[in-house]
Structure 1
């Protein structure tokens, strides 16, 4: 996630709150394969070890890359409020035309997680998700232009 604009500010603010209220474990998902994580289950299915997994994403909120394929990317995050997965795929929408699909799967953790998700819902829907979609779309368009 870019550090620019309103969405970038919201991510930085969330990091600040996470540190202030001790919501995030800095080592979670980043330094090892934690049993129960999507990353751990994928590694087991593919016969991978931690060193064989893709590098961690750009560090924003410690999203951990589960896998990266030519037209698909899955990452996850887990903290004291949620366990969530973020999936992007590039799909054909016509002859020589592509679109980007995004799916976000979230499992709240306890009452705090449910309240947290309710409070951030408008920001996710109106600011964060559109910004994520634009970033991914721009990146894939750049990749296509460079591939030609």
Structure 2
């Protein structure tokens, strides 16, 4: 479910300390029935166990495959355009009290790299020739009293081309990517105990 930008900007998230020069592109809520205030780590674990892009529907996988192919052909994803080269990582902006907190898990299949992970929020970033973007996940109380997962996408487009790029992909985000994420992440919450048990057996 899409939320107004104020659902992110008016909440006292720590990410605000790092992203004053970013704009809010999207804010989305995911239903987690019965969730309590301390279950953000449980939700993150369920999402990881449920799998990422490889477990998505074929339209989402196809969309990302086309995007990565275009990026390779046009040089959008050249390492020289990434975090630490074209733009500095937001980890360099962390206040002292966040410097030593857990960073979060990274792997080769996750293009967004961890900035920090706290008990109620986490943030990841990605940069290429089009944009420097942050995916912020937060745990907040919803209208029905349960806590829910909220995702905010924060962006700093790379010039006029970056702004055109963000406008061009907006329909794909709203019609394909976000609905698919909603189904995957809400299913992960509902099946969190079964997923954890299966993961434990495999381990």
TM-score, normalised relative to structure 2: 0.57
Task: Kindly provide the CA deviation profile for residues 64-109 of structure 1, in whole angstroms up to 9, marking residues without a partner as x.
Answer: 11122344221111100001111122323345x3322111111211
| Structure 2: unaligned runs, 5 residues or longer | 1-51, 198-203
2:93 aligned to which of 41, 44, 50? 41
| Structure 1: unaligned runs, 5 residues or longer | none
Matched, 1:89 2:138: yes
The structure with the larger Rg is 2
CA–CA distance in structure 1, aligned partners of residues 138 and 151 of structure 2 = 7
Cross-structure match for 1:118:
167
8 Å CA contact 1:68, 1:74 repeated in 2: yes
Shift of 1:129: 1.8
Q: What RMSD, in angstroms, separates the aligned Cα atoms of the two structures?
A: 3.2
Q: Residues 35 and 14 from structure 1, CA distance in 2 versus in 1: closer, same or farther, beyond 3 angstroms?
A: closer
* Equivalent residue pairs, number: 141
Q: Secondary structure at the match of 1:55?
A: coil
TM-score, normalised relative to structure 1: 0.74
Query: Which residues of 2 match residues 61-100 of structure 1 at below 5 A?
Result: 62-93=111-142, 94-95=144-145, 97-100=146-149
Shift of 1:7: 1.7
Cross-structure match for 2:53:
2
